[in-house]
Structure 1
Amino acid sequence: MKPLKADLLIFLVTIGWGSSYLFMKMGLGSLGEFNLIALRFGLAFIVAGALFHRRLRKVNLTTLRYAMLLGLLLFLTFTAITFGLKTTTTSNAGFLVSLTVVFVPLISSFIFKKKIENKLIISVILAMSGIAFLTIQLPFTFTIGDLLCMAAAFFYAIHIIVLGSAAQKVDTLNLGILQLGFAGFYGLIFSSIFETPVFPSTREGWIAILALSMVCSALGFILQAIAQKYTTPTRTGLIFSLEPVFAALFGFWFAQELMDTKQFIGAALVLLSVVVSTVNISHLKRSIHRRPISFE
Structure 2
Amino acid sequence: MQTRTLRSDLMLLLTAAIWGLAFVAQRLGMEHVGPFTFNASRFFLGALSLLPLLLFFKPEVKTIDTTAKKPISLWLGGAMAGMLLFMGAALQQVGLQYTTAGKAGFITGLYIILVPMLALFWGQRTGRNTWLGALLAVVGLYLLSINDDFSLSYGDLLQLIGAFFWAGHVLMIGWLSPQLDAIRLSIVQFFTCGVISLIAAFIAETPQIADIAAGWQPIAYAGLLSVGVAYTLQVVAQKSTPASHAAIILSLEAVFAVIGGYLMLNELLSLKAMIGCGLMLAGMLISQINPKQKPMVETAH
Show structure 1 runs of 4+ deviating over 4 A. 53-58
Give the gaps of 5 or more residues in structure 1. Answer: 284-296
AA aligned to 2:228 is: A
Which residue is 1:10 aligned to?
12
Please show how residues 55-204 of structure 1 align to structure 2 within 5 Å.
62-112=73-123, 114-199=124-209, 201=211
Q: Is the 8 A contact 2:59 2:181 kept in 1?
A: no
Matched, 1:235 2:237: no
Aligned counterparts of 1:61 and 1:19: Cα–Cα separation in 2: 35
Q: 2:24 — aligned with what?
A: 22
**Structure number with bigger Rg:** 1
Between 192-201 and 29-38, report the one with greater CA deviation: 192-201
Alignment of structure 1 residues 215-294 onto 2, 5 Å = 215-280=225-290
CA distance in 1, matches of 2:227, 2:210: 18
Question: For structure 1, which segment, 4-13 or 191-200, has the greater mean C-alpha deviation from structure 2 after superposition?
Answer: 191-200
Measured against aligned partners, the alpha-carbon deviations of 1:2-23 in whole angstroms (never above 9, x if no partner) come to 2322222111111000011111
Cα distance in 2, alignment partners of residues 91 and 54 from structure 1: 35
Q: 1:30 touches 1:200 (CA, 8 Å); kept in 2?
A: no
Letter in 2 for 1:18: G
In 2, Cα distance between equivalents of 1:4 and 1:163:
27
Distance of aligned partners of 1:204 and 1:195 in 2 relative to their CA distance in 1, 3 Å threshold: closer
In structure 2, relative to structure 1, the CA distance for the partners of 1:204 and 1:95 (3 Å cut) is farther
The 10-residue stretch of structure 1 (7-16 or 91-100) with the greater mean CA deviation from structure 2: 7-16
Verify the 8 A CA contact 2:105 2:254 in the aligned structure 1: yes
Contact 1:49 1:56 in 2 (8 A): no
Match of 2:298 in 1: none
More helix by share: 1
Q: TM-score, normalised by structure 1?
A: 0.89
AA matched with 1:37: N
* Structure 1 pair 133–204 and aligned structure 2 pair: CA distance change class (3 A): farther
| Aligned residue identity for 1:48 | L
Q: Secondary structure at the match of 2:211?
A: coil
**Distance change (3 Å), C-alpha of 1:117 and 1:61:** closer
How many residues align? The count is: 282
**Distance across 1 between alignment mates of 2:29 and 2:258:** 18
**2:129–2:290 Cα contact (<8 Å) kept:** no
1:237-265 deviations in Å (ceiling 9; x for gaps): 10011011000000000111111110011
Say whether the 8 Å CA contact 2:127–2:290 is kept in structure 1: no
1:173-222 deviations in whole A, cap 9, x for unaligned? 11122211111111111112222222353876221111111101121222
Tell me the distance in 2 between the aligned counterparts of 1:96 and 1:48: 28
Tell me the distance in 2 between the aligned counterparts of 1:257 and 1:143. Answer: 16
Question: 5+ residue gaps in structure 2?
Answer: 61-70, 294-301
Deviation of the 1:31 alpha carbon: 0.4
AA partner of residue 277 (structure 1): S
Distance 1:89 1:189 in 2: 27
Tell me how far apart the structure 2 counterparts of residues 127 and 255 of structure 1 sit (CA, whole Å).
25
